[in-house]
Amino acid sequence: MSENKHIEAQDQENSAMQARGEPESVMLPPVDIYEDANGFTLLADLPGVTRERLNIQVDGNDLTIEGEAAIDMPENMDALYADVASTRYQRRFTLSSELATDDIRAEMKDGVLTLRMPKRAELQPRKIEVSAG
Amino acid sequence: MSMIRYNPWDIFDAVERAFVPQGVQNSAEKPANWVPVVDIREEEDKFVISADIPGVKPDDIDIQTENKVLTLKGERNIENKEEKEGYIRRERISGSFERSFRLPDVADLENIEAKYENGELHITVPKRKEAAARKIEVKH
């Protein structure tokens, strides 16, 4: 289930940073990915990230999701108890060339990002009409 | 802005200890599937608990106080029958969540407010007026 040639998560770099305890490390948002006949849908949990603070980039076959959670922390105030170590999210994926990267659509709602990635038109199922002879 | 990790051994942590999560309390009920992560900050007149609960309708979040223990719980159902078949990666958590906090004595239990925004739940616990910081004059 974790291995998929269409959308491959590139998490190594980030895990390595976290293992070294680097303060600048970012959080990997959890994602769900599912496939249907026409393409793929990716859902990512990015609580606290608004549309303005979300950055989705496609460079060739590389998909990068970046977001920053807005914390309206007043000056000179310290968090008493912080489970969330960082407020920056980032995750990279490698997409297969079967996906129509120009047609990726994104929607952000209640801290959940939905990315719709259609397969290339020539790879989508087509119904072929049988003409009456 | 600086964030401080909770340190149970800090001698100045009277208030922090008051906020130590209570965990799932009702053993009679089905235990929660997951525990939302929270930040808690103190301001002059209030405490603000911020919990990450993305993709949940505000109506599905239940916040209660009982004996100075604040409990937030609810259900996050992200399963969708049509989508079920083609999953190739499933990391997002689903199901019931619960988390409890023992509130400090200064908490004004009557005026707690909650707001859901961008997948984050912000619970504001005001401090009682008589408990707010006051400057005491030193006479001489």
Q: What is the CA radius of gyration of chain A?
A: 19
Number of domains in chain B: 1
What whole-number distance in Å separates Cα of residue B41 and Cα of residue B19? 10
Residue type, B9: W
Does residue B4 belong to any structural domain of this protein? Answer: no
Does residue B48 belong to any structural domain of this protein? Answer: yes
Strand order, beta sheet including B95-102 = B61-66, B69-76, B95-102
Are the C-beta atoms of A64 and B118 separated by less than 8 Å? Answer: no
Burial letters for B20-54: b for 16+ Cβ neighbours within 10 Å, e otherwise? eeeebeeeeeeebeebbebbbbbeeebbbbbbbbb
Angle at A104 (CA atoms; ends A84, B76), nearest 5 degrees:
40
Contact check, Cβ <8 Å, B89/A33: yes
| pLDDT the model gives residue A76 | 55
What whole-number distance in Å separates Cα of residue B72 and Cα of residue B40? 14
- In CATH, the architecture of A7-120 is Sandwich (2.60)
Which range marks the domain in which residue B98 is found?
18-79+91-130
Does residue B119 belong to any structural domain of this protein? Answer: yes
Contact check, Cβ <8 Å, A80/B53: no
Q: What is the ipTM of this complex?
A: 0.74
- 3-state secondary structure (DSSP) of residue B66: strand
Q: Which residues of chain B are within 8 Å of residue A15 when distances are taken between CB atoms? A: none
Nearest CA in chain B to A37: B86
How many inter-chain contacts (A to B, CB under 8 Å) are there?
130
State the average pLDDT over residues A77-101: 78
B97 touches chain A (CB under 8 A): no
Q: Taking the domains of chain A in order of start, what are their residue ranges?
A: 7-120
Least confidently predicted of A81-90, B61-70, B118-127: A81-90
Residue A56 in tokens: 């989705």
Residues 1-60 of A with CB under 8 A from B: 1-2, 4, 6-7, 9, 30-36, 40-41, 43-50
| Residue found by looking up tokens 């980032």 in the block | A90
Nearest CA in chain A to B3: A79
Least confidently predicted of A107-111, B2-6, B43-47, B122-126: B2-6
B52 touches chain A (CB under 8 A): yes
Nearest CA in chain A to B53: A47
Are the C-beta atoms of B12 and B42 separated by less than 8 Å? Answer: no
What whole-number distance in Å separates Cα of residue A39 and Cα of residue A119? 5
Mean pLDDT computed over every residue of chain A: 82
Q: Which residue has the higher pLDDT, B71 or B26?
A: B71
Given a cut of 90, is residue A19 above it in pLDDT?
no
At B9, is the pLDDT very low, low, confident or very high (cuts 50, 70, 90)?
A: very low
Given a cut of 70, is residue A48 above it in pLDDT?
yes
What whole-number distance in Å separates Cα of residue B124 and Cα of residue A125? 52
DSSP A15: H
Contact check, Cβ <8 Å, B119/A47: yes
Q: Which residues of chain B are within 8 Å of residue A9 when distances are taken between CB atoms? A: 89
Burial letters for A84-119: b for 16+ Cβ neighbours within 10 Å, e otherwise? beebebbbbbebeeebbbeebeeebebbbbebebbb
Contact check, Cβ <8 Å, B120/A48: yes
> For position B66, which CATH number holds?
2.60.40.790
Given a cut of 90, is residue B108 above it in pLDDT?
yes
